[in-house]
Amino acid sequence: MCPALVSDNQERGFIIPIGGGEDRVKEMQIHRRFVELSGGADADIVVIPTASQVESTGPDYNDIFRELGAGKVEFLPITSRADCDNPSFAKMLDRATGIFMTGGNQLRLSTILGGTLVAQKIRRQNAAGVPVAGTSAGASIMSEHMIAGGAGNALPTEDAVNLAPGMGLTNAVIIDQHFTQRNRLGRLLSASSYNPFLIGLGIDEDTAAFIGPDNVLEVVGSGTVTVVDASALTYSSMWQASSGEPLSLLGLKLDVMGEGCRYDLNSRHAYPPDKNTGFCSLPAATVKGDK
Q: What residue ranges do the domains of the chain occupy? A: 15-287
User: Any residues with CB less than 8 A from the CB of 218 and at least 6 apart, and which?
Assistant: 209, 210, 212, 260, 261, 262, 279, 280
User: Any residues with CB less than 8 A from the CB of 267 and at least 6 apart, and which?
Assistant: 286, 291
The predicted-structure confidence for 14-60, as pLDDT tens digits, reads as follows 999 999 999 998 999 999 999 999 999 999 999 999 999 999 999 99
Q: In 68-116, which residue ranges form alpha helices assigned H by DSSP?
A: 87-95, 106-113
Q: What is the pLDDT of residue 70?
A: 98
Q: What is the pLDDT of residue 285?
A: 40
Please give the helix or strand (H or E) that residue 257 lies within, else none: strand 253-257
Q: Residues with catalytic annotation?
A: 136, 178, 205
Can you tell me the distance from the alpha carbon of 211 to that of 203, in angstroms, rounded to the nearest whole number? 13
Angle between helices 87-95 and 117-127 in degrees, nearest 10: 10
Can you tell me the distance from the alpha carbon of 105 to that of 75, in angstroms, rounded to the nearest whole number? 18
| Side chain identity, residue 96 | A
pTM over 0.75: yes
- pLDDT, the chain, mean: 92
The predicted-structure confidence for 207-243, as pLDDT tens digits, reads as follows 999 999 999 999 999 999 999 999 999 999 998 999 8
The mean per-residue pLDDT over the stretch 181-199 comes to 92
Can you tell me the distance from the alpha carbon of 45 to that of 37, in angstroms, rounded to the nearest whole number? 11
Kindly tell me if the per-residue pLDDT of 283 is higher than 60: no
**CATH for the 15-287 domain, from 3.40.50.10470, 3.40.50.880, 3.40.50.300, 3.40.50.1000:** 3.40.50.880
